[in-house]
Amino acid sequence: MLKNIPKILSPELLKVLMEMGHGDEIVLADGNFPAETIGQRVVRCDGHGVAELLDAVMRFFPLDTYTEKPVMLMEVVKGDPVVPTIWDEYKSIINKYEPENCKIEMIERFDFYERAKKAYAVVATGEEAIYANIILKKGVVKMPEK
């Protein structure tokens, strides 16, 4: 065990986050997302929700400052009456860690799937909220100048 690492971050997920480079993307997927069909690498995080996982990941994960919108959400399909309240939770979490970089792009469902196919990894969760999928684009860790 290590100190100060959230228990929700498994060794496998920590390894994936460390392997990712600038510009790589990771999908935190809800329980309905076709993770095994779409993902090149799938990390299982069953029994956990996306918001709690997002909060743990954002403690360590730099968002890409060279991209206008480093966070992507799957937009609601036209005609679907769902109003995803979980998005407000996501915005709050991202704003807590990177307030200057909390810019979100909405992506049509099938375009989101195509983007997810190119992601470095898909994290499959047990999230029950609908439209709870989120993509994060990794940025550069900038060390303070000496």
Give the catalytic positions in this structure: 22
Residue 133 CB partners (closer than 8 Å, separation 6+) = 27, 28, 29, 30, 33, 50, 73, 74, 112, 116
**Please, are residues 134 and 71 in contact by the beta-carbon 8 Å criterion?**
yes
Q: Cα separation of 94 and 75, whole Å?
A: 18
